[in-house]
Structure 1
Amino acid sequence: MKYHFAPTTTSVPTKGYNTRRIHPLVGQQGVTLIELMVGIAIGLLVVAVAMGALMVSRGISGTVSEATSLQQQAAYAFRVIGQQIRQAGSMELNLNPNIALTPASGANPAMSPVAFDAPDPTGARPPFVRASSTLTGSATPLSFTVGYQNYTEATVAAPNTSLLRDCLGQNPALAASGSLSATPVLTSKFELDTTKNELACTGAGSSGKQAIIGNVTDMQVRYVEQAPGTTTLKYLPSSPLPSSWHNIYAIEVCLELTGTEPVSTPGATYKNCSGADTSYGDRLKMVFRNVYQIRSQGQV
């Protein structure tokens, strides 16, 4: 007759020592190599997706930021150009030409006649010739120059001074050794610097050519001519140059600005300043165009 006894856990008392319990050995549990590799692969896949989304988001954000920057540069350039063109051909008004009112009794002072190009009190400033000083241009390098008479006027808190400035914010007649006779005409010359891709301006001062904005890869200029004695307007290219500058009624300026961030535009095209379809390449390109009327131009 056989007897089977189940294993039991016993405590072995030992004098001078703590009582210990003896437990049966239990098998250790863990992750197999295959499970570990699958987990790593899933983690790497999640990281790759997250990195791809981050790169796409960064690319979109960079493109939007660059487009905004190009628009701001173009707006600033057109503001400077427009400020100078709108003053082109302007002359000083003589508000006291010593012309008698007719009738003298009860005449309205607001209807008092004025005279253009008031004489210089010192007799040193030459007369302003609108036909040659208002607008000129060049085909190589492409540029145009606008000018207007430099004069001083009365102000509240200071002696007579000039409030006029060229494209660089200068008026040489206000310098310590300057005078209206030395700078009778304020001029601003705008041109494209193809070596640096900059729109540059040369003022009437001695500071030379300075950049207004960068990233300019093309500039085109067209002149709007008004035939004498008619209301007919027509566009003239910058080359050949117009033969009668005093008949130019307005100027059209087109600027093409190119970004610096790489952009994927496969097969996409845009119309450049010449009106031709052109490939973007791998850069963002934006074309800006504006027409400025020479308000004081005309046969007078």
Structure 2
Amino acid sequence: MVSSSPAVVLPRAQWQELQEAHVSRADQLTAAHRERAARREKHPVWDFLFTYYSYKPSVMRRWHPGAGAILEDAADSPHASWRWYASTRNGHDLGVDVESFWRDRGESAQQVLDLLSATSTRPARFGCFGMHEWAMVYRQREHRHDVPLRLGQTGTDAVVEAHELRCTHFDAFRFFTPEAEPRNEQLLTRASQPFTEQPGCLHAGMDLYKWALKLGPLVPGPILLDSFELARDIRELDMRASPYDLAAWGFPAVPVETPEGKADYVRQQRAFAGRGQRLRDDLIAAVLASRQAAGAGDASLVRR
């Protein structure tokens, strides 16, 4: 069924209002990026949210009510042509076809669920101090960003050598320079990711946006946009704590090479971990509920 409990039926006026609010919020969140893109103007901080994650702003504008909701009188809505939606027996209402979703994307959804669940059970760690960005430029003359290093190459290298690298996120570790990799407390692989990911990691928090998008119609619109806002806020700290000098872009440094900078970083990191855990729990709940519903089946939906 759409849900293991009775479906939440949203009258047409209500879901249209929710959809309009979602589109408006999504447009506000992406307005600056879309304006820069129209000018072909790059940004060293914010472009990451649209290039590394490679989702266009238009994807964020798609409002989903989430599995278990029925859109009343929605035959003429955009959802009618979207994948993994099906009409009810009356032909006028629509809901997420969780059976089709799990048939098509079940393996991927289960992998996301396993990673989120494993991460959620681990204690958060707050001792990395953002050194992953420093490890990405360690002993390198060419860098990913065309931005000067705040301490220069020699000073940046000295900071890396004065710290223990404690990165737990593979998708950050894989960008370490060859000289930095063996300095990390453990060598990370894609296969080991479910066993090393932990909720204090900034990048694990940013990735919640990616997982929300991958889960598509299972995730209600507010959770998707909340996850993007979290990724945006984390990205700012990530780059302010990096070795790059971003003062020209209006970003004062969080100097993690100092005790004061470390304390500031950890304070913000803890707050992000709390926000991330709440979103992680929401995503886990959405996947579990849809999986249960898919196993139960729903005769009220007409499969396409």
Q: Same fold (TM over 0.5)?
A: no
| Richer in strand (by share) | 1
The TM-score, its normalising length taken from structure 1, stands at 0.24
The TM-score, its normalising length taken from structure 2, stands at 0.24
| Richer in helix (by share) | 2
Relative contact order, CA 8 A, sep 6+: which one is greater? 2
Q: Which has the larger radius of gyration?
A: 1
